[in-house]
Each structure stands twice: as structure tokens, then as C-alpha cells.
Amino acid sequence: MTDCIFCKILRGEIPSSKVYEDELIYAFNDIAPMAPVHVLIIPREHIESAARIAPEHASLLGHIWTVIPQIAKQQSLTDFRVVTNAGADAGQTVAHLHFHLLGGKTMGTSLA
């Protein structure tokens, strides 16, 4: 998608700090980290949010969830949190599906 910040990152038009990539997904450090480790995991396919995940994305989502623990291990995390925000009221600011991988500090139990 032309205007999407994360699609621009995928095309190399905006620089990013790569953590992991393969043919389906890309992971990079968040520009404004909220924890010592704050990695964003995104599909190469532009999907607007978790609200747009459909049955044809099942294998992609399964792949993302197998890679997340590998990235956590690569980042030396044993404990971590994964968050995806869908829609403005949930805090989504970039309309390209992404998973926040957070760790490296005690985060407590409050989710909202």
C-alpha cells in the first residue's frame, strides 16, 4: 500500500532496525520503545488490522506465532508480552497488522 508507513519500511523507503525477516514476515525495533525489548512483527502482506484477519490468513498467522518465540529467544527474553491493537480506541496508530513483542522489564498484570 502506497501510503502505509509499514509498507514503506518493507520496501526500504523508511529505514528500520531489522530483527528478523523471512518470505512472509519482517520484524524490527519500535522507534519509540515502551520496554527494553520492543519489537514489531509485521506480515509482508498489507492487512489493516487483526479485525481484517480472514481464514486465508490462517497459515500466515500460524507462522507468525511460531516465529515470535524464536525472536523472543534471539532477544534473550524468557518472559514476554505480545500485543496487537485493532482500531483507534484500542490504540492502533498504524493501519498495517503488527504484533508488539515486549520484554526486559516487569510489566505487571494490567492490560488496559
Question: Does 94 contact Zn ion by CB under 5 A?
Answer: no
Question: Does 31 contact ligand 5GP by CB under 6 A?
Answer: yes
Residue 104 pairs in a beta bridge with none
Of the candidates 3, 4, 2, the residue with the CA atom closest to the CA atom of residue 97: 4
98 as an active site residue: the answer is yes
| Burial (CB count <10 Å: 0-12, 13-18, 19+), residue 5 | middle
Three-state secondary structure call for residue 52: helix
Count of residues of this chain found to bind ligand 5GP when the rule CB under 6 A is applied: 14
Task: Please check whether residue 86 is in contact with residue 51, taking contact to mean a CB–CB distance below 8 angstroms.
Answer: yes
Q: Which of 59, 66, 78, 93: binder of ligand 5GP (CB under 6 A)? A: 93
Question: Does 86 contact ligand 5GP by CB under 6 A?
Answer: no
Nearer to ligand 5GP, 25 or 59 (CB): 25
Question: Does 85 contact ligand 5GP by CB under 6 A?
Answer: yes
List the interface residues with ligand 5GP, window 46-65 (CB under 6 A): none
Question: Does 26 contact ligand 5GP by CB under 6 A?
Answer: no
Residue 16, amino acid: S
Residues designated catalytic: 98
